[in-house]
Chains A and B, each alone.
Chain A
């Protein structure tokens, strides 16, 4: 090694000073400061600066499952085995859907510990034309604006996810624009059975058909797993088109055709721009608490399955009629639907030297921020105050999903 000690290296006028050639490394030792008072380019580009502060998808590591973690005997339903992520089944066999632990493999090594899994328990090898099975996600339109759909600056979307199935083959994932009735698709291949594989696909973004700036459905995502001919007779579109049912499930894994079949997914991310497996930005991790709070915009489990779980305080404004207000921990997407899936005997109303079960329980004045818990019982006395609690079987939920 030789050294040159000089005060300044100055290229000839109007020429460029080049350090090294391709394959060389120009190193800057520890303790050296580079002070830039001019213009430095090429050290980063706009793709290094991700335009979404939080992960686009909510709960895409499947850590939150307020509705439960195991659903069996599902034939025709919308089933959330993880908050925000749903299986849509339409009479194409019977399934167990659950939130399952990831215990080994590349997805585990990438940090993921939960996945959404579907297992075929009754096969349907000859589905009727209108039968369907897919895994889906709906995002609010106002949260999809980063891709600038419908403008001259529309930007490609890159979708990445970890998937595992006993079945190998080609499957289809659709991106749907619910405001304009449009769709585009991408295909992916599962090449190794029962092995976690990271899939990365890109969707083009069209410069027409802008999304609304509202809390309705904007982008919907569909991973097709089985379908009748109404959904398979077309061709998977690689450019945007008017939504056509015949094109939605052309490539599916036919999870429905054997009870040995299962399919699992986790670690889903969407990025603004076009990336490959070597350039995709790292998965953005959220704390459990931050994740739960984002999920509660769409669904809230007020009763948590604990014994002696308090619901609210009541005042009996008339004999037999009780009301109590409830302030929600986060604003919901829309005024929510309330339901309770337990027997009234699972609830207990307590007051001074008394306790009794309600003869009715419900809700009114349902808003995005608060609501009123309603109850009836002839045991209540006008003007008295009470509190209500439930046992471990009591459930009381609010739903404002898309």
Chain B
């Protein structure tokens, strides 16, 4: 997936719920914040966002 932008999205209580990912085709994806736990390999889009951030990109804050 080619990531164009990523933005935080909060739940109704104001807590971070997931990321809104926009790809280069302007398609929108709601990507869960995945738990980091033993014997679990999570959402591949979430991993792609982590790599995207590690590459120097920034996640936008929620509205």
Q: Residues of A with Cβ closer than 8 Å to B?
A: 212-217, 317, 321, 323, 334-341, 362-367, 399-402
Contact = CB atoms under 8 A, between A and B. Distances in A.
Given A364-B9, A364-B17, A334 B41 contact: yes
Interface residues of B, number: 23
Contacts of A213: 39
Given A337-B31, A339-B29, A341-B27, 7 more contacts: A214-B39, A215-B39, A336-B32, A362-B9, A366-B32, A399-B45, A400-B43
Interface of B: 9, 11-12, 17-18, 20-21, 27-32, 34-35, 39-46
A339 to B, nearest CB: 5
Max chain A C-beta neighbours (<10 A), residue from B11, B17, B18, B46: B18
Contacts of B34: 334-335
A364 B30 contact: yes
Nearest to A374: B30
27 contacts: A212-B39, A213-B39, A214-B40, A214-B41, A215-B39, A216-B41, A217-B41, A321-B12, A323-B12, A334-B40, A334-B42, A336-B32, A336-B43, A337-B21, A337-B29, A337-B31, A337-B45, A338-B30, A339-B30, A362-B20, A362-B30, A363-B30, A364-B9, A364-B17, A364-B30, A365-B17, A366-B32
Max chain A C-beta neighbours (<10 A), residue from B11, B31, B32: B32
A4 B29 CA distance: 81
* A interface: dominant SS: loop
A213 B40 CA distance: 9
A338 B28 CA distance: 9
A275 to B, nearest CB: 31
Nearest to B1: A78
B38 to A, nearest CB: 8
B1 to A, nearest CB: 8
Contacts of B27: 339, 341
A378 B58 CA distance: 32
Contacts of A402: 44
B40 A367 contact: no
Nearest to A398: B30
A189 B46 CA distance: 40
A321 B5 CA distance: 25
Contacts of A399: 45
Contacts of B41: 214-217, 334
Contacts of A337: 21, 29-32, 43, 45
Contacts of B39: 212-215
Given A317-B12, A365-B17, A335 B32 contact: yes
Contacts of B43: 334-337, 400
B32 A367 contact: yes
A140 B13 CA distance: 35
Nearest to A142: B39
Contacts of B46: 335
B18 A364 contact: yes
Contacts of A363: 18, 30
A364 B11 contact: yes
A195 to B, nearest CB: 37
B42 to A, nearest CB: 5
Contacts of A400: 43
Contacts of B9: 362, 364
Nearest to B20: A362
Nearest to A321: B12
Given A212-B39, A364-B17, A365-B17, A338 B29 contact: yes
A336 B45 CA distance: 9
Contacts of A364: 9, 11, 17-18, 30
Contacts of A338: 29-30
A363 B41 CA distance: 21
A117 to B, nearest CB: 25
A212 B41 CA distance: 10
B37 to A, nearest CB: 10
Contacts of B21: 337
Nearest to A318: B12
B11 to A, nearest CB: 6
